[in-house]
């Protein structure tokens, strides 16, 4: 299995631009999670999906953030407009079942100038 795939691995953009991060979960996993990691705040859960349906988005910082999962093999996290404080590493993870082992992607390192 290829594991969780994320793209791009690195993204540098200017403030105000739209950023789209992509994730392909492991086939057969029914849960998908988006996390953000910074030195100051550690690892934060932004949103998670079960069977493509968003279950809890209480971690999404503000309306500038949105996430979709149009099918079982693809999810996006969009930031529009981006701000310098959004700079972080964004991880996608998937699992088979609730509360089970999560498999993380390599992350997308986002820098907003």
Partner 1 sequence: SQQGEEDPQALSIQEGENATMNCSYKTSINNLQWYRQNSGRGLVHLILIRSNEREKHSGRLRVTLDTSKKSSSLLITASRAADTASYFCATDENAGNMLTFGGGTRLMVKP
Binding residues for partner 1, rule: CB under 8 A, are 4, 31, 33, 42-43, 45, 48, 50, 55-56, 91, 93, 98-107
Closest approach of Cβ 16 to partner 1, in Å?
Answer: 27
Q: Please say which residue, 85 or 100, places its beta carbon nearer to partner 1.
A: 100
Separation between Cα atoms, residue 104 and residue 101, nearest integer Å: 10
| Nearest Cα residue to 59 out of 49, 70, 50 | 49
- Compute how many other C-beta atoms are within 10 angstroms of the C-beta atom of residue 58: 7
Q: Please say which residue, 33 or 65, places its beta carbon nearer to partner 1.
A: 33
């Amino acid at each position: 299995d290829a594991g969780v795939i994320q793209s791009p691995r690195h993204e540098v953009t200017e403030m105000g631009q739209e950023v789209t991060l992509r994730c392909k979960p492991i086939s057969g996993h029914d849960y998908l999670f988006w996390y953000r990691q910074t030195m100051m705040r550690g690892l934060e859960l932004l949103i998670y999906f079960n069977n493509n349906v968003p279950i809890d988005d209480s971690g999404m910082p503000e309306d500038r953030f949105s996430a979709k999962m149009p099918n079982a093999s693809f999810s996006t996290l969009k930031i529009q407009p981006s701000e310098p404080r959004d700079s972080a590493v964004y991880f996608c993870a998937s699992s088979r079942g609730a509360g089970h082992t999560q498999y993380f992607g390599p992350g997308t390192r986002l820098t907003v100038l």
